[in-house]
Amino acid sequence: MSISLQPQIDQAAELLRSSKLTVSFTGAGISTPSGIPDFRSPGSGLWNKYDPFEVASLTAFRRHPQNFFNWIKPLVKIARQAQPNLAHTCLAHMEKQGFLQAVITQNIDGLHQKAGSSHVVELHGSAQSATCPHCFKKYGADWLPDSFLLNDSLPLCENCGAVIKPDVVLFEELLPVDAWLEAERLCESADVILVIGSSLEVYPASSLPQTGLQHGARLIIATRSHTPLDEYADLVFNQDLIEVIPNLCRALNIL
């Protein structure tokens, strides 16, 4: 770690030690080191290759399910094979040691849970499960068998025969109410919010750290890109988060 970063790392650790309720707010940047592609990075994001309303909207799922599944199947396969990186693992360690009470995530890959985090609020749903939109039968992690990943067939409900939908929030859909209310409650009560890997540009999720600020939370931001809240944060780290978060854990004597 750069010696010049150590004072900031120590300051962040002190904020966490003095906090009674710390929440982490994570975005795509925490998962890209695990091989999960993000959506908005210039030149490399998925939305540079696809029109989201053509493949990832509720209308697309209903009218052109084959196009939708042609798009999402590779992402599901990548997410299933991906493993948590050190940043995910560090957050799980922080939770176990009492320095972190919850993770609010914009990600749908389930890597926080794989890493061992137990209190995870998924704002945009999860690719690890699915629901039939007609009879509402629930499906677990095996909702898309490996055999379906290799051909153009669609996953059909075993009850009613309808095409089942992964539990991800698509364009034209509202965020899940229970997750949103839980995230809002956490941010309103937090002493510290640790933003990791999010540019804070995707509304309404991006409004949650601002809600925390309005209720007196201290803000630590660790992400490569600049965010609209940088000027209001106590600390901003634009370095590689795989360096920053483990060093924060070392400063807390938990790694």
Q: Which stretches within 103-142 are classed as H helix?
A: 111-115
Amino acid at position 62, single letter: R
Residue 194 three-state SS: strand
- Give 10-residue mean pLDDT values along the chain (255 residues): 82 98 97 83 49 84 92 86 96 98 96 98 94 96 80 91 95 95 98 97 94 98 95 96 95 92
Q: How many CA atoms lie within 13 A of 93 on its CB side?
A: 18
Residues with Cβ within 8 Å of residue 117, at least 6 apart in sequence: 88, 91, 92, 95, 103
Question: Which string of DSSP letters, residue by residue, matches 7-44?
Answer: HHHHHHHHHHHH-SSEEEEE-GGGTGGGT---SSSTTT
Q: Residue 47's pLDDT is what?
A: 41
How far is CA 213 from each of CA 17, 24, 43, 107, rounded to the nearest angstrom? 19, 14, 32, 22
Residues with Cβ within 8 Å of residue 245, at least 6 apart in sequence: 86, 87, 90, 91, 196, 222
**What number of helices (H) and strands (E) belong to the chain?**
10, 9
Q: Residue 148's pLDDT is what?
A: 77
How far is CA 228 from each of CA 74, 114, 222, 237, rounded to the nearest angstrom? 32, 30, 13, 14
Amino acid at position 41, single letter: S
Amino acid at position 250, single letter: R
pTM equals 0.92
150: alpha, beta or left, given left = phi > 0 and alpha = psi -120 to 50? Answer: alpha
Which residue numbers are catalytic?
124
Do 193 and 23 touch, CB atoms closer than 8 A? yes
